[in-house]
């Protein structure tokens, strides 16, 4: 499978309902790429928030209202939405197989 930007790959995946991806391996590649992007966006968001927390452990309003934080949060939410869409469109067998594979790798 050739490499494409993740958003294009997701659109193609949804549009090809009559001709879905070749199977589990293609979905897994897209899923891992989407997870990686979502994790990167989450790390950026957490870096902006930093250790500046209120006594309740929340991000202060002055940080939340900054343009940088709002942009990072919007990018994270968009990437998380892609991950959710991919998981919704996956066959249950694929999700089970991913879980089994993850358990095999756990603890190594």
Q: What percent of the chain has pLDDT over 90?
A: 29
In Å, what is the CA distance from 82 to each residue of 26, 56, 93? 16, 30, 20
- Per-residue pLDDT of 82-105, as tens digits, reads 999 888 888 888 888 888 888 888
Half-sphere exposure in the Cβ direction for 93 (13 Å, CA): 3
21 near 27, Cβ under 8 Å?
yes
Residues with Cβ within 8 Å of 76's Cβ and at least 6 positions away in sequence, in order, are 38, 41, 42, 44, 45
Tokens 């900054």: give the residue: 66
In Å, what is the CA distance from 39 to each residue of 44, 54, 92? 9, 24, 23
Stretches where the chain sits below pLDDT 50 are 1, 15, 17-19
85 near 11, Cβ under 8 Å?
no
pTM given for the model: 0.70
Q: What does the alpha-carbon distance between residue 45 and residue 35 come to, in Å, rounded to a whole number?
A: 15
């Amino acid at each position: 499978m050739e490499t494409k930007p993740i958003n294009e790959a997701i659109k193609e995946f949804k549009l090809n309902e009559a001709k879905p991806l070749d199977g589990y391996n293609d979905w897994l590649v897209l899923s891992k790429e989407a997870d990686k992007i979502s994790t990167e966006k989450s790390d950026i968001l957490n870096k902006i928030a930093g250790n500046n927390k209120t006594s309740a452990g929340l991000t202060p309003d002055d940080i939340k209202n900054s343009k940088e934080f709002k942009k990072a949060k919007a990018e994270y939410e968009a990437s998380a939405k892609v991950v959710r869409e991919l998981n919704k469109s996956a066959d249950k067998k694929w999700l089970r197989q991913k879980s089994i594979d993850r358990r095999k790798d756990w603890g190594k």
